[in-house]
Amino acid sequence: MTEDQEAELEAQADDSEDQDDELEGLQAGDFITLAYTAWTVESDQLVDTTDAEVAEAEGVDGDREFKPRTIILGEGHIFAGVEEAIIGGEVGDSGNVTITAAEAFGEYDPDDVETVSAEKIPEDDRYPGAHVTIENRQGHINTIIGGRARVDFNHPLAGEDIEYEYEVVGEVEDRAQRAAGLFEMYLDVEPELWIQTDEVEEEVLVEPDEDEDEDAEPEFETQTVEKETLYVESTPQLTMNQQWMFSKQQIAQDVMEKVGVDRVIIQEIIDGAGGMGMPGMMGGMGGGMEGIEDALEDADVDADDIVEELENAGEAEE
């Protein structure tokens, strides 16, 4: 081996070591829990926070639970500048990043302040400061005089630099916790869920023989296969969530891909004290006429009277 070849091999080895060094620490695709608080630089207005004390001090209301949130690095769940500061680091790292207006919510554009007919605005929203949606564009009313309104379609935080304080609280390895974090991130709802392996029967295409007619109908056979299933407990909070109502297929598909399960099943849990119901239909009274007779006796109802009433009703219909 010549000296030049040896030098080239050494250079390649050095490059490989450098690449390994670059890949150390947190990387795109990692699930992490992140604590953060973001403020506007100029007006010191709270943009978002995971800190309950900060939220309370700023008078932030709502049902949201303030706690570190699960995100996936590299997926655009936080500002790119913050992701860049985190990638390559490790759990426990903290920092402070300033995000320019252009990288945050955009520069303020005076041309996005437009005059529109007040008829396009619901009567209850015809006042300065009201947030409105006009032709699928969101904005807020600056002024409204007579039949005309000046509507600002800029983002409320357009033109504002953002100061972003963060701390990487942990890395999420458990798949069920990852799924829960995704649901919370997409819907602000963290349902009860679990992962289990099920045996499922499914129709599988049978590979045709080489000498079989190409025009023959495809054949299927039933096979029992194992599928990893993410079970999600359905609650009124989840069922009535508008984001879930309109995007459940997309959200479920994304969760399956990122968590690595074969399917998602939403399970409705019905709790109750019993009492009123249809025991004969559900088999809850022991089944059969004996159960019905026992129920009538407990209720102090004469079965013969009921039969007579039904017969009389039938004759009346005729």
Domain count along the chain: 4
Which pLDDT does position 315 carry in this prediction? 54
| 3-state SS class at 44 | coil
Same domain, 89 and 55: yes
Which pLDDT does position 180 carry in this prediction? 93
- Residue 261, both tokens: 């399960």
In 3D, which of 203, 199, 193 has the Cα closest to residue 267? 193
Which pLDDT does position 65 carry in this prediction? 81
Average pLDDT over residues 263-279: 67
Geometric angle at alpha carbon 192, from 186 and 194, rounded to 5°? 100
- Residue 217, both tokens: 């109908």
Question: Residue 97 domain-assigned?
Answer: yes
Question: Residue 258 domain-assigned?
Answer: yes
Same domain, 78 and 130: no
Q: Which residue has the tokens 């399917």?
A: 263
Question: Residue 215 domain-assigned?
Answer: no
CB 39 within 8 A of CB 166: no
**31 or 276, which is more confident:** 31
Distance CA 222, CA 200 (A): 10
Question: Residue 2 domain-assigned?
Answer: no
Q: Does the pLDDT at position 266 exceed 80? A: yes
Same domain, 88 and 164: yes
Which pLDDT does position 300 carry in this prediction? 55
Question: Residue 14 domain-assigned?
Answer: no
Q: Which residue has the tokens 């396009």?
A: 120
Question: Residue 179 domain-assigned?
Answer: no
* pLDDT tens digits, 63-93: 678 899 999 999 999 999 999 999 999 999 9
pLDDT band at 60 (very low <50, low <70, confident <90, very high): confident
Q: Is the pTM of this model over 0.75?
A: no
Q: Which of 201-210, 254-263, 269-278 has the highest mean pLDDT?
A: 254-263
pLDDT band at 286 (very low <50, low <70, confident <90, very high): very low
Burial 253-280 (b: 16+ CB within 10 A, else e): eebbebbebeebebeeeeeeeeeeeeee
Same domain, 141 and 165: no
Average pLDDT over residues 211-239: 84
Same domain, 246 and 302: no
Which pLDDT does position 5 carry in this prediction? 55
CB 182 within 8 A of CB 254: yes
Distance CA 89, CA 96 (A): 14
Query: What CATH number is attached to the domain comprising 118?
Result: 2.40.10
Range of the domain at 234: 193-206+220-268
pLDDT band at 195 (very low <50, low <70, confident <90, very high): very high
pLDDT band at 189 (very low <50, low <70, confident <90, very high): confident
Same domain, 291 and 264: no
Question: Residue 76 domain-assigned?
Answer: yes
pLDDT band at 285 (very low <50, low <70, confident <90, very high): very low
Same domain, 90 and 139: no
Q: Does the pLDDT at position 289 exceed 60? A: no
Which pLDDT does position 106 carry in this prediction? 93
Q: Does the pLDDT at position 288 exceed 80? A: no
Q: Which residue has the tokens 């998602």?
A: 264
Which pLDDT does position 267 carry in this prediction? 87
**63 or 49, which is more confident:** 49
Same domain, 244 and 121: no
Average pLDDT, the chain: 82
> Which secondary-structure segment (H or E) carries 97?
strand 94-99
Same domain, 296 and 235: no
**221 or 86, which is more confident:** 86
Beta bridge partner(s), residue 223: 202
pLDDT band at 172 (very low <50, low <70, confident <90, very high): very high
Same domain, 300 and 198: no
| 3-state SS class at 236 | helix
Q: Does the pLDDT at position 253 exceed 90? A: yes
Q: What percent of the chain has pLDDT over 70?
A: 74
Question: Residue 185 domain-assigned?
Answer: no
Which pLDDT does position 188 carry in this prediction? 87
Q: Which of 3-17, 130-144, 217-231, 286-300 has the lowest mean pLDDT?
A: 286-300
